[in-house]
Amino acid sequence: MSKLKKTLHVLSELNEINAKLIPLKKIADREFASIYGLTGTVYTPHIDEYMQVCITRAEILACLKRQGIIPISEVEVITRALDGLYKNAKNKTVVEYEGSRYERRFLPLKLSKSGKNVLRWAKFWLLQLTEEKIDQDWERQVKEIWPNYFLIRKIDI
């Protein structure tokens, strides 16, 4: 996870940032859908703005959780436990923990200047409902907690 700012946040800030997300999400989704079928580099200002607001929201949530105002989510608790138990798990490794199956996933987080080598990987766990089917609610929570893992940077089609 990226370094978080040391300022303390309050619940009203979370409400304000949630209000900003609603219209941005609609515009970003529409913009993302319009990308398909285009060629060349696509400029995506609404997606970029939406992602920045998501990152700010994640920082506020993390701060509120550190202060004990909001409880730590089940996703975070289980992720920490799985990270401790399976430090060397490879991509798409499936493990069982407390009766549920979890799949380890990796995404490129930081690339070299040339873009050919991955310098840092984002590592997270996804809950499997059935054989190879991922729990969508769990995945949504992972994306809310660590939005910087899923940044849409520059899209070349």
**Along the 157 residues of the chain, how does pLDDT read in single tens digits?**
455 567 788 888 888 888 888 888 877 776 766 665 444 445 566 667 777 888 888 888 888 888 889 899 899 999 999 999 999 999 999 999 998 999 999 888 777 777 788 888 889 999 998 777 888 889 888 888 888 777 644 333 3
Residue 77 one-letter amino acid: V
* 31 and 67 part of one domain: yes
* 30 and 62 part of one domain: yes
* Nearest CA-CA partner of 67 in 14, 12, 8: 8
* 26 and 67 part of one domain: yes
Task: Note whether residue 47 is domain-resident.
Answer: yes
* 43 and 99 part of one domain: no
**SS3 assignment, position 5:** coil
Question: What is the predicted pLDDT for the residue at 132?
Answer: 76
Task: Note whether residue 140 is domain-resident.
Answer: no
Question: What is the predicted pLDDT for the residue at 95?
Answer: 93
Task: Note whether residue 27 is domain-resident.
Answer: yes
10 Å CB burial of residue 146 (0-12, 13-18, 19+) is buried
* 17 and 80 part of one domain: no
* 1 and 65 part of one domain: yes
pTM above 0.75, yes or no: no
Structural domain span for residue 18 = 1-71
Question: What is the predicted pLDDT for the residue at 36?
Answer: 53
Task: Note whether residue 82 is domain-resident.
Answer: yes
Task: Note whether residue 148 is domain-resident.
Answer: no
- Torsion sign over Cα 85, 89, 92, 96: negative
- As for how many domains the chain has, the answer is 2
Question: What is the predicted pLDDT for the residue at 89?
Answer: 92
Question: What is the predicted pLDDT for the residue at 128?
Answer: 92
Strand order in the sheet with 100-111: 94-97, 100-111, 118-130, 133-134
Task: Note whether residue 88 is domain-resident.
Answer: yes
Question: What is the predicted pLDDT for the residue at 107?
Answer: 84
* 36 and 97 part of one domain: no
* 93 and 66 part of one domain: no
